[in-house]
Amino acid sequence: MSGIAIETARLRLRSWCDEDRAPFAAMSADRDVMEHLGGPVGRVESDAGIERLAACEAAQGHTFWAIERKHDGAMIGFCGLRRGGHEGTPVPDELEIGWRLSRDAWGCGYAREAAQASLDWGWRNRADSRIAAWTVPANVASWGLMLRLGMVHRPELDFDHPAFPPGHRLSRHLVYTICRPA
């Protein structure tokens, strides 16, 4: 394993590897996991997603890293930081925190643990004054975590995602930010 490795009590956030392809494909094909993300995708698309995230890490020094559960070594999702790629929105170059977990990892506090570790890493290693996140209004679990992390809803930054037609259930996105601790 190369690149970043962030340790928490129960998790390891790390660079992506070939062994992550099958569990990531299974997670990406799960209708519940992908409900607020455009729907399930197949293996080719999920593999391409890993390639994009690995390229992001190579270019930026950080990405949405694979989350490995320490006690059994299972890859259970991703969490981390990335910048840019959101042209046509009010947050085109924001440092973004994001996460996605497999359904069997929901409700265990893993997302909160990984997200807090990612924020802590960001404050130690990036000069940004704030970190942002966004999701659709229906994704209560995601924006609820944003609030628990201390993020604040920024309605002036909310946007309609250019990848979806106007009025589509996934078009509207709520933006939350957290400022660098004093």
* Cα 69 from Cα 67, distance rounded (Å): 7
Parallel, antiparallel or unpaired: strands 172-179 and 75-83: unpaired
For 2-58, the pLDDT digits (tens) are 567 899 999 999 999 999 999 999 999 999 999 999 999 999 999 999 999 999 999
Domains of the chain (ranges; CATH) run 5-179 (3.40.630.30)
pLDDT tens-digit series, residues 82-137 = 998 888 899 999 999 999 999 999 999 999 999 999 999 999 999 999 999 999 99
pLDDT of 162 > 80? The answer is yes
Q: Which two tokens stand for residue 25?
A: 């494909």
For residue 1, pLDDT beyond 50 = no
State the residue for tokens 């956030």: 13
Assessment of whether the complete model's pTM goes beyond 0.75 = yes
Q: Which two tokens stand for residue 148?
A: 């628990």
Look-up of token digits 């299974």: 26
Residues 165, 139, 134: CA angle, nearest 5 degrees: 70
Say which residues have a Cβ less than 8 Å from residue 79's Cβ, sequence separation at least 6.
13, 64, 65, 67, 97, 98, 99, 100, 111, 114, 115, 117, 118
**Average pLDDT of span 153-171:** 95
Position 2 scores a pLDDT of: 52
- Mean per-residue pLDDT for 156-164? 94
Q: Which two tokens stand for residue 78?
A: 């991703």
